[in-house]
Amino acid sequence: MTIQRAAKAGFCFGVKRAIELAEKAAGTGLTASLGPLIHNQQVVDYLAEKGLEVIHSVDEAKIGQQLVIRSHGVPPETYEEAKERGITIIDATCPYVQKAQRMAASSSANSFVIVVGDKSHPEVKGILGWAGSNALAIETLAEAEDLPYYPRITVLAQTTQQKSHFFAVVEELKKHTGELIVQNTICAATEERQASARELAEKVDLMIVVGGLSSSNTRKLGSICSGKTKTYCIETAEELLEIWFTDAKITGLTAGASTPDWIIEEVYKKMSEFMEKTQIQEAEESAVKTVSTVSDEENMMENFDKGLPKLYRGAIVKGTVVKITGDEVFVDIAWKSEGMIPFEELSATKVSNINDLVKIGDTISVMVMRVENQEGYPVLSRKRANEVEAKEQLAHLAESKEEVQAVVTEAVKGGLLVDLGMRGFVPASQVETGFVDNLEKYIGKTLRLRVIEYDEYKKKLVLSQKVILAEEQEGKKEKLLETLKEGDIVKGTVRRLADFGAFVDLGGIDGLLHISDMAFSRVKHPSEIVNVDDEVEVQILAIDTQKGRISLGLKQLKTNPWSAAAEKYAVGSIVHGKVVRIAPFGAFVELEDGIDALVHISQLAEHRVMKVQDIVQVGQEITAKVIDFKPGDKKISLSIRELLTEASEASARQDLENQPEIPEVTIGEKIGNIPDTDVDTLK
Ligand code: F3S
């Protein structure tokens, strides 16, 4: 067996430079990188051991820490933020990316800048940041077709863009501008690696592709090679199996752009050991002239029969669930044996029962983790396949703001978790339009969600159901506002009480029933009149369409007791009532529901009263005389004093009337035995 390496493989110039700068900086003191330096966990772990911490925003940087900007680059605000915080920047932005940033900055002054690339990729976000507001990113030809007309356009590419796609977009852009300036900022590194992998795969019996499984770059290499020959994708040398090489005369070796040399060398070394072993075995076999049976060779070939799909590590294939055991799911992927998904590879979120995730007969996508385990089964991951497929879908959802549905798998501190191929978080404040106190009740329920934050690289996915519900409410509200009129009598449900009134849901919009419009009588708290969930009939008093506010009235639907009050409580009439309130200046007396009258302190008694409570108490029934009635002000004044005075006068009159009659006398005439002197006094 011989091993041939791809002419271009492993680290590109920009990545290599970034790692060297980061490693050097980590050796000089407190250092962090803004995001993982590259998409290779082994390298990230290696740098962490050297002292390179990974942080996700400038805010997280500690005082005195050096901050490494990775090869993707960042927008100018990041430099400013770091400067303000006194953070030292180690700028590992790839010089090719820097060139694209400079072009974006200078072109945006006199043309509209378009960047063709993945909108969620930090490199594209960074370039757009340098262009300012006179720029946008597009990913697809369809997006280019939808663009309006711009007098002048400068178009740039994400450095890893495919040339054919970039130039197809350029062709389309010509129709949308009077002047198109094309800046081809595509870096040749990715294309060179793919071209040399393709070239090598055509010549060899077996290809080994080394790189991080999460790297789309590595998966792309795997896909190119598997189209040409038998291919295995691995992350490290430990994953190599001797059996792969027994049949291969020439084996090719290539690696993704984020694979370090030392991992490639380890793989190469282990492959060489297998090669030596195979050669020794072949020599021994030929010495004893053992004839290899045709059937053995046929059996080996059977594994890679033309009818079987090209399986390689990292490939995503579709299959049908055929068996579910306690902790494994078996999937028919049209391979010589069924593939096996271990329980932990089923979903990104925790579930206690496999049957909640899949059932027999389901067609699912899976990623090949190992082509064969020791029992001969391909080892598969539904979780990782979902993750890869979800990335594309999530980027689309984040951009389009389309609604997506997902089942709640777990309630955690501060929110809910859902599985959208990637674990998504719905903060408690984003579940409903109102406050949610019990998150547990949502487990197993389907939420209607919108992506409000998605960062593929930080693996951050935040969703909201509230924004969808709020928008719908707003729509209903607008419609309802158009149909409602002041004076309408409508039905509603009391949703919430406040000290100043009750909020009544009128079928999509809440109106306020103010405490003063609940009853004609004095109401201390809305709960005296209505309770939450009560169905009520109310009148619309006012509508503010600008602010979307509606004022409601309840008392307006009842007869106003004041309308008959003039007749019932005319000045001079004697009335009965109950003292309901005492103030320093008098006592308020309820004459009937909705009509209160005042007995001023000066009208409580015939003598001077120092304190109202010395004469009357709350709850006491009294009789008084109406001495004033002002219907406009809804004021009735009563007097107890006048009644008392009248009573005293009447009593005095009565006493007088009861006195014995005095005979009429003529002056000078002697009356009986009245002495003369007494007669004089009567004169
Ligand atoms: Fe730079 Fe090209 Fe690598 S842009 S980071 S050299 S792929």
Name the residues annotated as catalytic: 123
* Whole-prediction pTM: 0.47
User: What average pLDDT does the chain have?
Assistant: 86
Q: Which of 592, 580, 601, 513 is nearest to 553 (CA)?
A: 513
Residue 590's φ and ψ, nearest 5 degrees, are: -85, 120
Q: In this structure, which residue's CA is closest to atom 7 in ligand 1?
A: 189
pLDDT value at residue 600: 96
pLDDT value at residue 282: 60
Q: Is the CB of 190 under 6 A from ligand 1?
A: yes
| Measured distance CA(457)–CA(478) in Å, rounded | 40
Decide if pLDDT at 676 tops 70.
no
Lowest mean pLDDT among 98-112, 116-130, 390-404: 390-404
The two three-digit tokens of residue 571, written as one number: 């000045």
pLDDT value at residue 457: 63
Q: Is the CB of 157 under 6 A from ligand 1?
A: no
pLDDT value at residue 240: 87
Cβ-contact 518, 497 below 8 angstroms = no
User: 284 pLDDT band (50/70/90 cuts)?
Assistant: low
Cβ-contact 551, 517 below 8 angstroms = yes
Q: In this structure, which residue's CA is closest to atom 3 in ligand 1?
A: 14
Lowest mean pLDDT among 26-35, 62-71, 287-296, 554-563: 287-296
**H helical segments located in 94-162:** 95-107, 122-131, 141-145
C-alpha 15 – ligand 1 centre gap (Å): 7
The two three-digit tokens of residue 448, written as one number: 């209607």
Q: Which of 485, 484, 487, 506 is nearest to 495 (CA)?
A: 506
Burial 475-493 (b: 16+ CB within 10 A, else e): eebeebbeebeeeeebebe
Which one of 16, 68, 71 would you pick to mutate in the ligand 1 pocket, going by the greatest count of ligand atoms within 8 A of its CB?
71
| Measured distance CA(102)–CA(100) in Å, rounded | 5
Ligand 1 atom nearest to CA at 12: 3
Share of the chain above pLDDT 90, in %: 51
Share of the chain above pLDDT 70, in %: 91
C-alpha 89 – ligand 1 centre gap (Å): 20
Q: Is the CB of 94 under 6 A from ligand 1?
A: yes
Cβ-contact 387, 348 below 8 angstroms = yes
C-alpha 98 – ligand 1 centre gap (Å): 10
Q: How far is CA 622 from the centre of its chain?
A: 63
Q: Is the CB of 380 under 6 A from ligand 1?
A: no
| pLDDT average, residue stretch 244-268 | 89
Q: In this structure, which residue's CA is closest to atom 2 in ligand 1?
A: 187
Residue found by looking up tokens 């009149």 in the block: 529
**What are the pLDDT digits (tens) for 591-639?**
998 899 999 999 999 999 999 999 999 999 999 999 999 988 889 999 9
Ligand 1 atom nearest to CA at 94: 1
pLDDT value at residue 71: 93
C-alpha 93 – ligand 1 centre gap (Å): 9
Residue found by looking up tokens 């046929």 in the block: 298
Q: In this structure, which residue's CA is closest to atom 1 in ligand 1?
A: 14
User: 682 pLDDT band (50/70/90 cuts)?
Assistant: very low
Terminal alpha carbon distance of the chain? 163
Q: In this structure, which residue's CA is closest to atom 5 in ligand 1?
A: 14
Which one of 8, 11, 12 would you pick to mutate in the ligand 1 pocket, going by the greatest count of ligand atoms within 8 A of its CB?
12
User: 294 pLDDT band (50/70/90 cuts)?
Assistant: very low
| Measured distance CA(480)–CA(635) in Å, rounded | 39
Q: How far is CA 123 from the centre of its chain?
A: 25
pLDDT value at residue 562: 85
pLDDT value at residue 288: 44
Q: Is the CB of 226 under 6 A from ligand 1?
A: no
| pLDDT average, residue stretch 520-531 | 90
pLDDT value at residue 310: 61
C-alpha 114 – ligand 1 centre gap (Å): 20
| Measured distance CA(191)–CA(193) in Å, rounded | 5
Higher pLDDT, 224 or 251: 251
Q: Is the CB of 173 under 6 A from ligand 1?
A: no
Q: How many residues in total does the chain contain?
A: 683
CA dist list (Å): 370 to 231, 235, 373, 407, 515:
12, 11, 7, 30, 71
Decide if pLDDT at 16 tops 70.
yes
**What are the pLDDT digits (tens) for 474-507?**
888 888 888 899 999 999 999 999 999 999 999 8
pLDDT value at residue 455: 79
